[in-house]
A and B are shown apart, each in its own frame.
Chain A
Amino acid sequence: MDITQRAVKGATVLDLKGDLTYSNRAAFKTAVEQVKNSNCRHLIVNMEQVRFVDSSGLGLLVLVSQTFKLQQAQISLLKPQSYVREIMSLANIPKMIPIYETEGDAITARAA
Chain B
Amino acid sequence: MVGTILLVEDEPVTRTSMAARLTRLGYRVLEAENGRVGLDVARREHPDLLIVDWMMPEMDGPTFCEAVRRDPLLKSSQLLLMTAHDQPVQIAEGLARGADDFLSKSASKQEITARVLAGLRTSRLVRALETAGQELVSSMRLLQEKQAETEADLQSAALFVQSLLPPQGSPVQGIALAWEYQPSLVLGGDLFDVMAVDEEHLGLYILDASGHGVAAALRSASLMSFLQVDNVLQLLGSYDPVTVLSEANRRFPLSADGEYFTLWVGQLHLPTGRLSYASAGHPGALLCSAQGPSQWLTRSSCPLGFDPVARFERDCVTLMPADRLFLLSDGIYEVQSPSGELWGRERFQKVIDAEKRTSLSMTIGTCFSEARHWQETHQFQDDAAVMGIELTGSPKGMVNG
Q: CB distance A22 to B281 under 8 Å?
A: no
| A interface size (C-beta, 8 A) | 19
Q: How large is the interface on B (under 10, 10 to 19, 20 to 34, 35 or more residues)?
A: 20 to 34
Q: Is A90 interfacial (CB-CB < 8 Å)?
A: yes
Question: B-side binding surface: helix, strand, loop or mixed?
Answer: loop
Q: Is B258 interfacial (CB-CB < 8 Å)?
A: yes
Q: CB distance A55 to B210 under 8 Å?
A: yes
Cβ–Cβ < 8 Å partners of A55 in chain B: 208, 210-211, 260, 262, 303
Cβ–Cβ < 8 Å partners of A60 in chain B: 258
Q: Is B300 interfacial (CB-CB < 8 Å)?
A: yes
Q: Is B302 interfacial (CB-CB < 8 Å)?
A: yes
Closest Cβ of chain B: how far from A89's Cβ, in Å?
Answer: 6
- Complex CA gap A55/B255 in Å reads 13
- Complex CA gap A60/B342 in Å reads 23
Chain B positions 247-261 with a Cβ under 8 Å from a chain A Cβ: 254, 257-260
- The tally of CB-CB contacts under 8 A between chains A and B is 61
Q: Is A31 interfacial (CB-CB < 8 Å)?
A: no
Q: CB distance A92 to B306 under 8 Å?
A: yes
Contact partner of A89 among B300, B303, B306, B307, CB < 8 A?
B300
Closest Cβ of chain B: how far from A95's Cβ, in Å?
Answer: 8
Q: CB distance B303 to A63 under 8 Å?
A: no
Q: CB distance A63 to B258 under 8 Å?
A: yes
Cβ–Cβ < 8 Å partners of A89 in chain B: 300
Q: CB distance B306 to A56 under 8 Å?
A: no
Contact flags A38-68 to B (C-beta < 8 A → 1, else 0):
0000000000000000111011101110100
- Complex CA gap A59/B302 in Å reads 11
Q: CB distance A90 to B283 under 8 Å?
A: yes
Q: Is A27 interfacial (CB-CB < 8 Å)?
A: no
Cβ–Cβ < 8 Å partners of A90 in chain B: 281, 283, 298, 300
Q: CB distance B281 to A92 under 8 Å?
A: yes
- Complex CA gap A64/B256 in Å reads 11
Closest Cβ of chain B: how far from A14's Cβ, in Å?
Answer: 16
Cβ–Cβ < 8 Å partners of A83 in chain B: 342
Q: Which residue of A lies closest to B210 (CB)?
A: A55
Q: CB distance A59 to B254 under 8 Å?
A: yes
Q: A55-B210, A55-B211, A90-B283 are in contact. Are A96 and B262 (CB under 8 A)?
A: no
Contact partner of B211 among A22, A62, A64, A96, CB < 8 A?
A22
Q: CB distance A56 to B300 under 8 Å?
A: no
Q: CB distance B259 to A91 under 8 Å?
A: no
Q: Which 8 A-B pairs have the closest CB atoms?
A: A63-B258, A55-B210, A59-B258, A60-B258, A92-B302, A91-B281, A56-B210, A59-B210
